Amino acid sequence: MIKLFKVKEKQRENAENANGKTPVKKQSAGELRLHRDISELNLPKTCSITFPNGKDDLMNFEVSIRPDEGYYVGGTFVFTFQVSPIYPHEAPKVKCKTKVYHPNIDLEGNVCLNILREDWKPVLNINTIIYGLFHLFTQPNYEDPLNHEAAAVLRDNPKLFESNVRRAMAGGYVGQTFFIRCI
Amino acid sequence: MADTAPSRSRDLDKLLLRAGNLVGPTFEPGTELRDDLQEYARILVVGAGGLGCELLKDLALSGFKNLEVIDMDRIEVSNLNRQFLFRMEDVGKPKAEVAAKRVMERVSGVNIVPHFCRIEDKDISFYNDFNIIVLGLDSIEARSYINAVACSFLEYETDDKPQEETIKPMVDGGTEGFKGHARVIIPGVTPCFECTIWLFPPQVKFPLCTLAETPRTAAHCIEYAHLIKWDEVHSGKSFDPDDPEHMQWVYSEAVKRAELFGIPGVTYSLTQGVVKNIIPAIASTNAIISAACALETLKIASGCSKTLSNYLTYNGVAGLHIKVTEFVKDKDCLVCGPGVLIELDTSVTLEKFINLLEEHPKLQLAKASVTYRGKNLYMQAPPVLEEMTRSNLSIPLYDLMDKVAKDILHVTGVTGQSDKKTSCLRKLRVVFRGVDGVTDMDMAGGA
Amino acid sequence: MAEPKTKYDRQLRIWGEQGQSALEKASVCLLNCGPTGSETLKNLVLGGIGSITVIDGSKVEVGDLGNNFMLDESCVGESKAKSVCAFLQELNDAVKAKFIEEYPEALIEMNPPFFSQFTLVVATQLGEEKMIKLDRICREANVMLIFARSYGLTGFVRISVKEHTVVESKPDHFLDDLRLNNPWPELRKFAETFDLNVPDPVAHKHTPYVVILIKMSEEWTNSHGGSLPSTREEKREFKELLKSKMVAIDEDNYKEAIEASFKVFAPPGIKLALSKVLQSADSSFFPFSIAIGSDLQQIINDSSVELSSTSSDFWVMVAALKEFIATEGGGEAPLEGSIPDMTSSTERYVNLQKIYQAKAEADCLAIEQRVRNNLKKLGREPESISKATIKSFCRNARKLKVCRYRLLEDEFSNPSVPDIQKYLTDEDYSVAMGFYILLRAVDRFAANYNNYPGEFDGPMDEDISRLKTTAVSVLNDLGCNGSTLTEDLINEMCRFGAAELHAVAAFIGGVASQEVIKVVFLS
C-alpha cells in the first residue's frame, strides 16, 4: 500500500491550504440505532417524551408517565434517559427524577428493573424500557425491593400502602420523608 | 543490492529488499520501498498505555519514522509494571508526551508527535492524515469512535466496490491478563469493529434490588456503597473514582455492609477493582499483542508478507493457544457498508425524497425518518419531534445537506407488504446530479 | 519510592502475593542479549523478577541499533551484555542485574556447573548442537530451561523442565464441586430445613439453587431406583420437573437451577467428573506444546506417589491425597469450599457458604494430618510443609497437573513420526510444521557451510537448493522419508537470512517471558 501512501502524501502537500469544508459532526452507531428506536416509538397515551436539548440530541431525553390505573393513578413521574454511544451494546442509564414512594424505586431515583441492568439485551429497545417502567406503576412488587420500608408496607398492609402513596403524591410526609406534589 | 556500510536496517533489509514467495500482492522489494516507508508512511498510535508504549517502540524499530500518538491520561504508579517507557519520576506527566520523548531519545531518526488530549477533541480531518491507525485501547467506546471515524473516510464506487485510496486500515490490539487479541480491520474489505461488536462480552451488572436487599458477595457490598449509598449520603455530589477519598469512603461503607450481613472478602484492592472495573494487565501479554500489531502494520504498509486474516486470539492461561479466525463483514453494516446509492436532482425536497424511498426498487421504504450527520431532518415519531422537523419537508434536501455534492445519510422506515412489515435502518449514499463536485481524491482528503 | 503494592497492582490481581514472591525469589540467566533475549528480560524485570544475569560475548554493532531498543548510538563498540544490562536496571531498581561478557557457547563447553546457580535459564538464538548440550546440563542440575529463537518471520519457544507440577492453574472452564447428588450429612440436613412448596413467594424465589438441586436430585433417585438422570430424555424430564416447581415466571433461582442441572448429572467421585474437564495433551514433539498433561486419576497412580527421601513436597501431598480419597474422602477429592454466587436471601447464602467452608476445612485438616505423618515416616520435619501450602493444594486438588518435558535430544532422536506426518499434511498446521523442520535445517546448514542460508547479500539460488537438500535430510532422519516441503517455504526461509526482526523478537520474547512466569510460579 506504500505506493498509495506516497500518492496521497503528495496530494496532501498540494492541497494543504485548499481546505474548504468545516469538520462535520460524526454520528456514532449508537446514535443511529437510537434514531431508529425513537422514530418508531409507539407510546401509550399515558406516556410522553421530551428532548430538553432539542431535536438533534436524542441521546438525552425525558419520559413522563401518568398511570391511568392502580395505586399511582393521577401522578406524573419523570424519568431521565442517558444513552451511550455504544448503545445498544450497553443499556441506557435511567433515573426517576420525581421523588416517589415506591417499593422498586429508591428516594435517589434508582430503579430496580431487570432489563435496565442484568437482563439487558441489544434486541430490546427504548419502547420496551418505557413499557417496563409503566408496568412498575401498575404493578409495584414487594419481592424485589429498593425501598425496603415501602415494600414491607405493600406486603403487610396494602391499605396503608395505598394511603401512603396518595399522601406522597399529594405532597407531604410519609414517615420522615417529604415528597413533592406530583399530581 | 544493499549498502555495504553498516546499516541500522541490517535485519529489516532482508525482508524489504528481497523478493519473496509468501508476500502481499503489492510487494515491490527494494531500497525505494524501505525509503518510502520512512518518508511517506504516517502512523497514528491511539493510546500510550501498556499497548501504546510497546507499539511505539515496535513501530520505531520496524522501519517507520513518522509516528504520532494520542492519549489523554497521565502516568500513574500502577502503570509502571508494564508501561516500560515510564519511570517513577514521570508519575503525573502526560503519557503521550513522555512516551514520545523516550522513544525518540533511543531510536535516532524517528519523529513522534504526541497529542495529550481526548480522541474526540481532534477534528475528523486529523485522523485522515494517517495511512494506518493502530489502536492500543481498553474501552469499547473509544474503539467504536475511532472505527466510525476511519470508516467515514471510506468511499464506494457506483458498483459498491470500495475505493482503494479511501481505505483507512486499522490494527487493533487488546489484552486481559494472560489473554489478548490482535486484529486487522480494512474497512470495506474485512469486518469493522461495529460488524463484530458482539465479540465483546457485555459487562456484568448486578440487579439493584440484590444490592439493596440480598447482598451475598463482597462485590455486592461494594456496588451497594458505590451505586446506592453514595447518592443517598452525598446528594448531588458525583462520585469520582480517581479521588482516593471517595474510594476510601466506598470501601469503608462496603466493609460496614459486609459486616452487617456476615459476608467475607471486602478489601480495598477489590473495591478499586469492582468500582473502576480494573482489568488485570501484565507486561508480557502487552508485548506479545503489540508485536503482532506492529508486524501487521508493517505488512499492510509494505506488503512484505501476507496480512493476518483477520482476528487473532492469544490465550496463555493454561498452556498456550493461538487461534486465527476469519470473521466476515456485515454487508449491511451502517458504519462500513456501502449503503444504497441514490442520485437526486438538487431541487428534490425532503418530502419528495421520502416518497422516492418508497418507490426505490432496492429500498421500498415507507414512512422514512431521515438523519444527516447528527441532524434529524425529519422524524415520523414521536409527535414532539415530528412537529419540530415538519418544516424541513418543503426544503430541498440539497440545502439541508449543506449543499455538498454527495454524502452519507441514514433513514429508518418500514419495508415489506402489509402482512409482513419490518422496520429497518439503512445507510444511503446520496449524490446530487449536475453539481460541480469535488473529485473523489479531494473528498478522501476531507477537503 | 511508592509502595511496590501499587506498582505491581495490576499483576497482583492475577497472581497474588504468593506468585509475586515466587517471582522475586527467582534468578534468571539470559544467554545472548539480542532483541529476543532483551525483550524477554524486559518483561520480567518490569514484573519484579529477583535477579538477572545477562551473558553475551559480542560487541554492539550499528546493525544492532535497528532491532534492539536497549541499545543506542553510545553503545556501539561496547559490550552488548553490559549495555543491555544497564538499560534493564533502569527499568526497575528492585531487580539485581548483572552481566558477564562471555559467549554462551564457551560457557556451555567449558563451564557446565556455572548454570546450576540459577532458577531458570533463558537461552536465545542458540544453535541446535549447543541447545542439546545445555539441555542436558540443566536437566542434570535441575535448572529450568526455556529456549527462544526468532528467525525472520518465524521462531519458537521451547520449555525444558524435568517435572513441572501445577497446583494453582486457573482453567477458564471448570466444573465446581458442589456435591449436589452426593451431599454430606451437614449439607443434607441444611437442605432438609427447606420446603420447596413453601407458600410465601418471597421465600420461594430466594431458595438457593443448590438446595433446589439437592432436593430434586434426591427426589429423582428415590423414584428411579437410585440412579441419576442419564439419558437425554431423562435429563430433559429432570429439567421439566424443575420448571414445574416454579410458581412465577420470574424466579431467577429456578432458572439458575435449570441452567446448572448438568451439575447433578455427573456421577460422584473423581473418576468421571475429571476426565471430561482435563484433557491430557500428548503432542510431545511439537515446538509450541510439549506438555505431557495428566488428570487426577493419572496423577495419583503415578509412580512418584511411592514416596522416597527425595520426593518433592508436591508428591508428599499427592500421596496424602491418594490416601484421603481411598478413606475419609469416600472416593472424592477434598472439597474446594467456595460456591458460586446465586439468587438467594443473604442469610441462606451465608449459611450455605459456611457449610461448604466447614467441610473444606475438615477435609484439609485430614489431609494435613496425613501429610505430617508421611513426612515423619520419611524422617523429615513434619512441619516442613506449611499449612498455607497444604490448604492451597487441597483447594486445587481437582485441578492438579503434572507436565514432564522430554529432552531435546529425545525429541529429535525419537520423534513421533505419525504426528509429524499428520501435521505436515494438515491444512492448518503444515506451515508451522514446515517451519519446525526448517528451523532445524538452518542449524544443520550452518554447521555444514559456516553461514545461514541467505545470510549474505547476493544471489540465493545455491543456498536455496542446499537448504532444500538439508531439509530433506532432516525429514529423513526423523523417519519421514518421501515427505517434502514446499518451494515457497524454503524460499522464504532463505530470504529471512537469519534476520532478527524487532517485532518478531518482541513477540517471541513476550511468549518466552510469559512462560518463564508460569514455570517460576510452580517451582
Q: Mutate which of A117, A143, A148, A154 to test chain C, going by most C C-beta atoms within 10 A?
A: A143
pLDDT for residue B417 is more than 80: no
Question: What percentage of chain B reaches a pLDDT higher than 70?
Answer: 96
What CATH number does domain C4-152+503-521 carry, 3.40.50.2300, 3.30.565.10, 2.60.40.1080, 3.40.50.720? 3.40.50.720
C-beta of residue B131 within 8 angstroms of C-beta of residue B444: no
Across the range B180-199, mean pLDDT stands at 95
Across the range B54-60, mean pLDDT stands at 98
Grid cell locating B240? 469520582
Instruction: Determine the distance in angstroms separating the CA of C217 from the nearest CA of chain B, rounded to an integer.
Output: 25
Q: What pLDDT tens digit does each residue of chain C (523 aa) get? A: 456 789 999 999 999 888 999 999 999 999 999 999 999 999 999 999 999 999 999 999 999 999 999 999 999 999 999 999 999 999 999 999 999 999 999 999 999 999 999 999 999 999 999 999 999 999 999 999 999 999 999 999 999 998 888 777 666 667 788 999 889 999 999 999 999 999 998 899 999 999 999 999 999 999 998 889 989 999 999 999 999 999 988 899 999 999 999 998 887 776 433 322 222 333 333 333 333 344 777 788 787 888 888 888 999 999 999 999 999 888 889 999 999 999 999 999 999 999 999 999 999 999 999 999 999 999 999 999 999 999 999 998 888 888 888 899 988 888 888 888 888 988 888 898 999 999 999 999 999 999 999 999 888 999 999 999 999 999 999 888 888 899 999 999 999 999 999 999 999 999 999 999 999 987 5
Grid cell locating A8? 496521497
Separation between Cα atoms, residue A63 and residue A77, nearest integer Å: 8
* Element of type H or E holding B423: strand B422-432
CB contacts < 8 A (A, C):
6
A107 within a domain of the structure (yes/no): yes
CATH number at residue A49: 3.10.110.10
Across the range A94-114, mean pLDDT stands at 95
Look at residue C294 in the predicted model and tell me its pLDDT: 47
C-alpha of C498 from chain center: 30
Instruction: Tell me whether residue B209 is one of the annotated catalytic residues.
Output: yes
- Spell out the residues 6+ positions from residue B416 whose beta carbon is closer than 8 angstroms to its own: B364, B422
Look at residue C164 in the predicted model and tell me its pLDDT: 80
Grid cell locating B172? 487493533
- Provide the 8-state DSSP code for C463: H
pLDDT for residue B446 is more than 60: no
pLDDT for residue B233 is more than 60: yes
C-beta of residue B172 within 8 angstroms of C-beta of residue B185: yes
A chain contacts of residue B168, beta-carbon cutoff 8 Å: none
Q: Is the ipTM of this complex over 0.95?
A: no
Instruction: Determine the distance in angstroms separating the CA of C268 from the nearest CA of chain B, rounded to an integer.
Output: 26
C-beta of residue B145 within 8 angstroms of C-beta of residue B124: no
* Element of type H or E holding B341: strand B340-344
Look at residue B236 in the predicted model and tell me its pLDDT: 81
Assess C202–A contact: CB distance below 8 Å, yes or no.
yes
Instruction: Determine the distance in angstroms separating the CA of B214 from the nearest CA of chain C, rounded to an integer.
Output: 5
Amino acid residing at B348: V
Q: Mutate which of B11, B18, B178 to test chain C, going by most C C-beta atoms within 10 A?
A: B11
Q: Measured between CB atoms, which of A6, A107, A112 is closest to B209?
A: A112
Place of cell 510431545: C284
pLDDT for residue B40 is more than 80: yes
Q: Give residue-wise pLDDT tens across range A118-132.
A: 999 999 999 999 999
Grid cell locating C87? 538499560
Question: What percentage of chain B reaches a pLDDT higher than 90?
Answer: 82
Separation between Cα atoms, residue A169 and residue A173, nearest integer Å: 10
Instruction: Determine the distance in angstroms separating the CA of C14 from the nearest CA of chain B, rounded to an integer.
Output: 6
**Of the candidates C233, A108, A161, C180, which has an alpha carbon nearest to the alpha carbon of residue B239?**
A108
Subunits adjacent to chain B (3 or more Cβ pairs under 8 Å): A, C
A15 within a domain of the structure (yes/no): no
pLDDT for residue A77 is more than 90: yes
Look at residue C290 in the predicted model and tell me its pLDDT: 36
Angle at B302 between CA B299 and CA B305, to 5 degrees: 45
Instruction: Determine the distance in angstroms separating the CA of C372 from the nearest CA of chain B, rounded to an integer.
Output: 30
A46 within a domain of the structure (yes/no): yes
Of B2-6, B37-41, B395-399, C427-431, minimum mean pLDDT range: B2-6
CB contact under 8 A, C13 and B62: no
- For chain C, the structural domain boundaries read 4-152+503-521, 185-267, 279-286+300-403, 408-497
Grid cell locating A118? 442484568
Separation between Cα atoms, residue C138 and residue C408, nearest integer Å: 12
Q: How many CB atoms lie within 10 A of CB B125?
A: 16
Q: How many domains does chain A have?
A: 1
HEC readout, C246-269: CCCCCCHHHHHHHHCCHHHHCCCC
Separation between Cα atoms, residue B263 and residue B215, nearest integer Å: 8
Look at residue B420 in the predicted model and tell me its pLDDT: 77
What pairing do the DSSP bridges indicate for beta strands A172-174 and A177-179?
antiparallel
A102 within a domain of the structure (yes/no): yes
A chain contacts of residue C250, beta-carbon cutoff 8 Å: 114
pLDDT for residue B444 is more than 60: no
* pLDDT tier for residue B319 given thresholds of 50, 70 and 90: confident
Look at residue B5 in the predicted model and tell me its pLDDT: 66
In chain B, DSSP finds a helix count (H) and a strand count (E) of: 16, 13
Q: Give residue-wise pLDDT tens across range A11-50.
A: 776 665 444 444 456 778 899 999 999 999 989 999 999 9
Characterise A3 by phi-psi region: left (phi > 0), alpha (psi -120 to 50), beta (else): alpha
Q: Give all domains of chain B, ordered by start, each with its CATH number.
A: 10-200+281-325 (3.40.50.720), 208-275 (1.10.10.520), 340-444 (3.10.290.20)
pLDDT for residue B50 is more than 70: yes
Assess B255–A contact: CB distance below 8 Å, yes or no.
no
C chain contacts of residue A155, beta-carbon cutoff 8 Å: 202
B chain contacts of residue C458, beta-carbon cutoff 8 Å: 1
Q: Which of B151, B195, B209, B424 is catalytic?
A: B209
Beta strand spans in C7-137 (E):
27-31, 51-55, 96-100, 120-124
Separation between Cα atoms, residue C304 and residue C191, nearest integer Å: 41
If you measure CA to CA, which chain A residue comes closest to B34? A2
Full-model pTM: 0.91
CB contact under 8 A, C47 and B22: no
CB contact under 8 A, B216 and C344: yes
* pLDDT tier for residue B389 given thresholds of 50, 70 and 90: very high
Of A156-160, B166-170, B235-239, minimum mean pLDDT range: B235-239
A chain contacts of residue C341, beta-carbon cutoff 8 Å: none
A chain contacts of residue C202, beta-carbon cutoff 8 Å: 142-143, 155
C-beta of residue A128 within 8 angstroms of C-beta of residue A92: no
C-beta of residue B417 within 8 angstroms of C-beta of residue B132: no
